[in-house]
């Protein structure tokens, strides 16, 4: 006989939630301290990354972070965000009958499009650059692409956007400050 857990499927969110929170808050604080930037600036950069995603590279450079620290903080927040989003989606899929039915219908439709099922996942990289994590992560989950494949591709797109934004910010600041 299975024992009912006190919080139901909410327990499945515990470990990803803790890891995601650490990646979103604690790691940026640590990296900020190592870079010699005040904790408030580190939290401001992490919060900006949650809102404007890789576009927060400009904020990091403006707050005085080194390009490497800015990149590492954006990477940490992006990874934490991806982990938390997929954990929430998995719990939703398991606990909501309505969501489970929607996913089953979507999976049936995807069976009629083997090309998209096989190769569409590659579009996640440019998709993150154009639409962002908050749109692309649910798309990957709804289309039932393996998390082991889709999450790294989403993260890769986010990292590419972060590098381009940081390099652009460095160029813009040099242009305006010289």
pLDDT in tens, 18-27: 888 899 999 9
Mean pLDDT, residues 16-38: 92
Residue 1 has pLDDT above 90, yes or no: no
Mean pLDDT, residues 22-46: 94
Cα–Cα distance between 52 and 34 in angstroms, integer? Answer: 24
Given this model, what pLDDT does residue 138 score?
A: 93
Mean pLDDT, residues 58-81: 96
pLDDT in tens, 85-140: 999 888 888 888 888 888 888 888 888 887 877 788 999 999 999 999 999 999 99
Give whole-number Cα distances, 177 to 39, 79, 127, in Å. 26, 33, 33
Residue 52 has pLDDT above 90, yes or no: yes
Given this model, what pLDDT does residue 172 score?
A: 76
Which sequence spans correspond to the domains of the chain? Answer: 9-177
Contacts of 158 (CB under 8 A, 6+ apart): 53, 54, 74, 75, 78, 82, 128, 133
Residue 168 has pLDDT above 80, yes or no: yes
Cα–Cα distance between 80 and 53 in angstroms, integer? Answer: 12
Given this model, what pLDDT does residue 164 score?
A: 94
Residue 6 has pLDDT above 80, yes or no: no
Given this model, what pLDDT does residue 178 score?
A: 65
Given this model, what pLDDT does residue 5 score?
A: 45
């Amino acid at each position: 006989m299975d024992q009912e857990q006190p919080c139901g499927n909410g327990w499945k969110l515990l470990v990803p939630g803790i890891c995601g929170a650490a990646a979103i808050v604690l790691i940026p604080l640590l990296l900020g301290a190592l870079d010699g930037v005040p904790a408030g600036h580190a939290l401001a950069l992490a919060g900006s990354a949650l809102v404007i995603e890789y576009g927060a590279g400009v904020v990091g450079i403006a707050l005085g972070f080194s390009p490497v620290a800015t990149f590492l903080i954006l990477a940490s927040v992006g990874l934490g965000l991806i982990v938390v989003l997929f954990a929430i989606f998995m719990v939703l899929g398991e606990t909501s009958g309505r969501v489970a039915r929607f996913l089953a219908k979507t999976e049936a439709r995807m069976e009629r499009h083997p090309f998209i099922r096989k190769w569409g996942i590659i579009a996640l990289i440019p998709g993150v650059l154009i639409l962002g994590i908050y749109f692309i992560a649910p798309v990957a989950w709804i289309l039932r692409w393996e998390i082991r494949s889709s999450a790294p591709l989403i993260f890769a797109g986010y990292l590419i956007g972060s590098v381009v934004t940081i390099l652009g910010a460095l160029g813009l600041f040099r242009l305006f400050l010289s």
